[in-house]
Each structure stands twice: as C-alpha cells, then as structure tokens.
Amino acid sequence: MSPMARFSPVPAATDPAIIRNFCIIAHIDHGKSTLADRMLQSTGVVEHRNMKAQYLDRMDIERERGITIKSQAVRMPWELDGASYALNMIDTPGHVDFTYEVSRSLAACEGAVLLVDAAQGIEAQTLANLYLAMENDLTIIPVLNKIDLPAAQPEKYAEELANLIGGDPADVLKVSGKTGVGVEDLLDKIVRDIPAPVGDPDAPARAMIFDSVYDTYRGVVTYVRVVDGKLSPRERIQMMSTRASHELLEIGVSSPEPTPSKGLGVGEVGYLITGVKDVRLSKVGDTVTNLAKPAAESLPGYADAKPMVFSGLYPIDGADYPVLRDALEKLMLNDAALVYEPETSAALGFGFRVGFLGLLHLEITRERLEREYNLDLISTAPNVEYEVTLEDKKVVTVTNPSEYPTGKIAEVREPMVAATILAPSEFVGAIMELCQTRRGVLGGMDYLSEDRVEIRYRLPLAEIVFDFFDVLKSKTRGYASLDWKADGEQVADLVKVDILLQGEQVDAFSSITHKDKAYAYGVMMTGKLRELIPRQQFEVPIQAAIGSRIIARESIRAIRKDVLAKCYGGDISRKRKLLEKQKEGKKRMKMVGRVEVPQEAFVAALSSDESKDKAKK
Ligand SMILES: Nc1nc2c(ncn2[C@@H]2O[C@H](COP(=O)(O)OP(=O)(O)OP(=O)(O)O)[C@@H](O)[C@H]2O)c(=O)[nH]1
C-alpha cells in the first residue's frame, strides 16, 4: 500500500482503545528528532513541503544546537489492518541536564521507542533513559536507527540491545530516520505492541500536567494527559495542589498545530488554555480536575527539579538590571527548573544568583537572555551548593563563594554524583586515571559485550560539572559517553580562595575548591588578571589567598598614561575630543579600591571556554 493511502484526518475525541501514547528515548544525537519528523511526514501530519528540519524543536536555540529541551506532544493518525488509530508522540530531551523532563514525559505514556544509533551502539543515556522507562512500567520497543550509514553494524548492536532488555535480536527493528526505511513498520509495531491507555470514563476528571509553556500570545499552554473522566471547553477546572480554579478557554490537540477539540477523554494527550499568565499556576506534576465534580485523590506527582549548578548573572550595563529582572521572571514562567534570587557584588554591582540543572541549562538560559531580551551579561564562574557546619553546630548552605562563612568551620559537605561511563574497553585505563584525579571512587564495572564496558564511579559534582566531559571525550577519542545523577554528599577538605587587587578582595573571583587544587586556581586567576588589567599609575599587586595566607602573587607595573602626548600642535578641539573619549572609556571601568578594572577584564576572566565547548556537544 502506498503511504498516501494510510492518511486519515485526526479522529475527534476518542475511544481509548485506538489511542497509543509513546515517546522516543535515545542518547543524544542518536536521531530522535529526525525520526520524530519522519513520523510526522509518514502519517501525513506535516506535508513534505512544509517540513522545517526538526519540527518539534520549536525554540531557535534548540534548532541551532540540534538539541531538544522542552517536551512537546503531537497527535498522528495511523491505519493498520483497516482500523484507524491515534498515536500521541511525546518528545523528550536527550541531554543529561534534562533528565527530569524525560521522566515527566514518560509518565504520560504506555510505551517507549528505545532508539539506538546503529553505528554507535548503546550509550550512557540509552541506559539511563531505559531504566527510567522500566521504572514507569512502559512497553519498550528497541529500534536501531541510521542503518543507511556505511559504518552501521545493525547485527552486532541488535545483539547488544537484545542482551540488555531480553528478547530475540531478530525482533529489533532497523530503521533510518533520514531515508524513511522501516519507519512505517515501526508505526505498525507501536500500534500492535504498546497497550491502549486504561481509565474510568465515568469517574471525576483527572488529568496530569506534564508540561507548561508560556506563549506570548496565548498565555500559559498546559500539556496534559487525561487519566480518568473528560475535560470539556468552557467548564471550570481546578488544580488539585493549589485548589485554584480557572475557566477552560480552549482545549485541544497538537497535530502539530494546536487544533481545538470538543474535549479530551480517557488516555488522550493534548493542551489546555485557561488565560493564566504564570506557569507556576499550572504546575508540572499537578492534577487537573473538574471544579463541579472534583476527584477525591490527585495522581502521583513528580519531585521538583533540583538546581545543581549556580552562577551569578550581572548586566554589563547596570542600567539593564530591571530588564534582567523582568526577563528572568518571564523565563521562569516557562522553566520551572530555574531558580534565582537577587544578589549584589562589590565588583559587578546588582545581579542575580541563578540555579541551573547543569552547564548546558546555564548556557541556554544565558543565550536566551542575551538574544531574546537584548542583554549583555557577565556570568560568574559556576559553582555547586555546599553545606557548611560551623563549630557552634550552625549549618549554612553556600551557593555563592562570597557567602562562605568566615567563622570556625567544623566540616564542609559537597554534593556527589553517581556517574556511568560507557566506552570501548581499550580506554578503561585512561578513564580510571581521569576519575581518580577527579577524586572519584570506583563503584563497579560491567562488560556489555566483548569490547564495550560500563564503568561506574562516585564523584564530587564539582569535579565533573565543568570540563570533565570534554576531557573524557578527548581521552577516549570521542567514544565515551557519560550519564550522572545526584547521589548524596560527602565531607571534603574544601577551602575558599580569594583574589585580591591591591589588597582589596574582588568577590566575583572567589572560588571554593578542594585544598589540593587551590594553588592551581590561584596561579591561573592571578596570571589571567595580570594579562587583562591595564597598567595603572601605580603598581598593582594581584594576590590569591586562603584566609590571610597568600598562595599566589603577580603584579602589574605602573605607567602614566598621557592621552595628550600625541597631539603636539595647538589644536584645542582635538584635545578636547580625546579627553571626552577618555571619559567615555572611564564609564566602562569598575573601581576596585583605587584600581580601575575594565568591564571586559571581568568578562574575560570569568568566561570559561570549556563550558561553551561542552554545551555544543
Ligand atoms: N545517516 C543518518 N543520519 C541520521 C539519521 N537520523 C539522524 N541522523 C543525523 O544524526 C544527527 C542527530 O540527529 P537528531 O535527530 O538531531 O538527534 P537527536 O537524538 O534528536 O538529538 P537531541 O534532540 O539533541 O537529543 C543529525 O545530524 C541527523 O542528521 C539517519 O537515519 N541516518
């Protein structure tokens, strides 16, 4: 049968027996978005000529970076053996920073397509996502992708997959999202293997919120999966956690453009709009019910996402502070994982301390602030959250090195992670060496096949969150993959290193590091600043110190800068111009004590190139 013959319009509010809710889970770059796009095409939801590459990734940054951040749900019609079905595909992000978004999407599905690149095999996030899917009791359909690649080894990796989840290697589907080979078979298999949703159509309505997105024109758009009962337009709904009630202005499905419907019944996935402007009023994990006939019990929710990495964000131009505040408020409407509070820095002025899920989340947030709100920002060196117990037993949580207590400290605890690394076995030595230098403790090791090994380490988050992944990649010629999750905390020998300019502490440059690494940080930072700060009219010592102990020192020699030296004629207007220009330049200087530091020096000293490289991966 030609694919055209299988198109049919989106069915209206639906008998649960014909619904299949699924998501695609994969390691980053294994081709999830490409396959999703191909499915949209094969089911006729998006016509070929309207196809923008990666339809589901709506944000520009996502498209540019080729990564998926926010989950979206799309409904697709499909016919099998003469019967019509409605497939709801829920897109999930693949990057380790966004695991919490994956688990939300999984809870809305009955099945998952486990997609593996046929030239790469199983990777760390394949495993992490598979375990999440198994915890949610989803039916798993193993699929090898990119079989069009000359380097593909479908037989070998089908065996690896079958070993991992059980079953026959011959049952592993082989597809190419790029050419479309096997995609229709996959759609058939989704209909056959994934169970239809079950729920009580006559019970009071219960729908689970798995995503909430702020849209400039429509306000908050909430994505729900109906478990019991039915939601209809114009009725009043209630959010079970807050008891807030709203009128349902619109309810519908994305296919892929939002299409209003007469209601959503058992097992259906769609969106609703109530006119609220704040995503926090439509909290992910909350249960929506009917105000007139409310459900007695809410559905199990999700744990809130916990920020892992903190950084100070400051506008380069202090006058932009209110713009930054409003922009953060708007971003938070759309990103429940983002947390922030105002802070001030002697060096950088007014700004915010912002909590992120990881470095990629930080980079994306910063890029959105700069691009969508036209802001120029400085972000301070990212750090993790420490717990400090003082000798008087008081416990202080430190998310900013400048808050590090000065009193007598009994112990400092740092967050730990359980990391899983997958790599060809020839790299085991190099990986273990790297993990040891990062204060890791080996947890175990398993061979997935003869030449591929899974290595588990417990590591301090602070040691892996910045450049670990880049170093790992370079030590394994790009073959290793990494996944990690939070794993408690440990007591560690940590110190705060301060940077002093002419004896004045510059708060933005303070850092909390392990004692053994403090010296290296001091040398690096003082060296960087010596390069970046222009000479002044007096000598400027730059020092790194732990408490009152100096551990590194550089100095900038004195110079007298005479801007008029070049104008020996008597042209007074030219002289005035030069003096004006110098005044302009001064505005962009920050005074640290008596030392003038150009804004750019802060930006350059604080910019970490590693993090940018990492975000691109
Ligand atoms: N040859 C070949 N390349 C493919 C195929 N599917 C995807 N690719 C390429 O693989 C790369 C990654 O594909 P994406 O679809 O962006 O991967 P993804 O898993 O969605 O990535 P994230 O959204 O970041 O998790 C892109 O360069 C695609 O063009 C395929 O079937 N064959």
Residues 6+ apart with CB under 8 A from 12: 261, 262
pLDDT in tens, 54-70: 555 555 655 555 544 44
- Detail the DSSP E strand segments found in 428-546: 441-449, 452-460, 481-491, 494-501, 504-505, 511-514, 540-546
Query: To the nearest whole percent, how much of the chain has pLDDT over 70?
Result: 84
145 annotated to bind ligand: yes
541 cis-preceded (ω within 30 degrees of 0)? no
| Among 532, 458, 540, 548, residue whose Cα is nearest residue 496 | 548
C-beta 65 within 6 A of ligand 1:
no
CA 79/CA 82 separation, integer angstroms:
6
Please state which of the ranges 266-270, 435-439, 483-487, 563-567 shows the lowest mean pLDDT: 563-567
C-beta 66 within 6 A of ligand 1:
yes
Q: How confident is the model at residue 93 (pLDDT cuts 50, 70, 90)?
A: low
pLDDT in tens, 535-568: 888 888 999 999 889 999 999 888 765 555 555 5
Q: How confident is the model at residue 444 (pLDDT cuts 50, 70, 90)?
A: very high
Tokens 């089908």 -> residue: 158
C-beta 147 within 6 A of ligand 1:
no
C-beta 126 within 6 A of ligand 1:
no
What single-letter DSSP state applies at residue 205?
P
pLDDT at 589: 66
What single-letter DSSP state applies at residue 71?
-
Average pLDDT, the chain: 83
Q: Are 86 and 77 in contact (CB under 8 A)?
A: yes
What separation in Å is there between the alpha carbon of 331 and the centre of ligand 1?
Answer: 28
Q: Are 492 and 513 in contact (CB under 8 A)?
A: no
Local structure of 5: helix, strand or coil: helix
What separation in Å is there between the alpha carbon of 146 and the centre of ligand 1?
Answer: 8
C-beta 617 within 6 A of ligand 1:
no
More confident residue, 9 or 591: 591
pLDDT at 597: 80
Q: Which of 125-134, 373-382, 384-393, 401-410 has the highest mean pLDDT?
A: 384-393
Please state which of the ranges 92-96, 304-308, 492-496, 512-516 shows the lowest mean pLDDT: 92-96
C-beta 33 within 6 A of ligand 1:
yes
Residue ID of nearest Cα to ligand 1 atom 14: 31
Q: Are 56 and 239 in contact (CB under 8 A)?
A: no
43 annotated to bind ligand: no
CA 133/CA 112 separation, integer angstroms:
7
pLDDT at 553: 92
Q: Are 124 and 453 in contact (CB under 8 A)?
A: no
CA 432/CA 309 separation, integer angstroms:
25
C-beta 29 within 6 A of ligand 1:
yes
pLDDT at 124 over 50: yes
Among 28, 33, 175, 181, residue to substitute to test ligand 1 (most atoms within 8 Å of Cβ): 33
pLDDT at 158: 93
C-beta 320 within 6 A of ligand 1:
no
C-beta 67 within 6 A of ligand 1:
yes
What separation in Å is there between the alpha carbon of 481 and the centre of ligand 1?
Answer: 16
C-beta 149 within 6 A of ligand 1:
yes
Q: Which atom of ligand 1 is nearest to the CA of 67?
A: 24
Question: Any idea what the Cα angle at residue 317 is, between residues 314 and 320, rounded to 5°?
Answer: 75
pLDDT at 30 over 70: yes
Question: Any idea what the Cα angle at residue 223 is, between residues 220 and 229, rounded to 5°?
Answer: 120
C-beta 113 within 6 A of ligand 1:
no
590 annotated to bind ligand: no
| Among 611, 610, 612, 495, residue whose Cα is nearest residue 549 | 495
Q: Are 394 and 374 in contact (CB under 8 A)?
A: no
What mean pLDDT do residues 318-333 have?
88
CA 384/CA 400 separation, integer angstroms:
9
pLDDT at 612: 38
pLDDT at 414: 96
CA 28/CA 117 separation, integer angstroms:
10
The CA-atom distances, in angstroms, between 45 and each of 49, 72, 88 are 12, 15, 12
What separation in Å is there between the alpha carbon of 31 and the centre of ligand 1?
Answer: 3
C-beta 27 within 6 A of ligand 1:
no
What separation in Å is there between the alpha carbon of 202 and the centre of ligand 1?
Answer: 43
| Among 235, 224, 232, residue whose Cα is nearest residue 261 | 232
Q: Which atom of ligand 1 is nearest to the CA of 37?
A: 15
Q: Give the N- to C-terminal CA distance of the chain in Å, as an integer.
A: 40
C-beta 177 within 6 A of ligand 1:
yes
What mean pLDDT do residues 204-221 have?
84
Residue ID of nearest Cα to ligand 1 atom 6: 31
Among 23, 24, 27, 29, residue to substitute to test ligand 1 (most atoms within 8 Å of Cβ): 29
- Indicate the burial class of 1 (C-beta count within 10 angstroms; 0-12, 13-18, 19 or more): exposed
Residues forming a β-bridge with 496: 512
C-beta 94 within 6 A of ligand 1:
yes
283 annotated to bind ligand: no
- Detail the DSSP E strand segments found in 346-451: 349-356, 377-379, 386-390, 395-398, 409-424, 441-449
573 annotated to bind ligand: no
What mean pLDDT do residues 38-61 have?
68
Q: Which atom of ligand 1 is nearest to the CA of 28?
A: 25
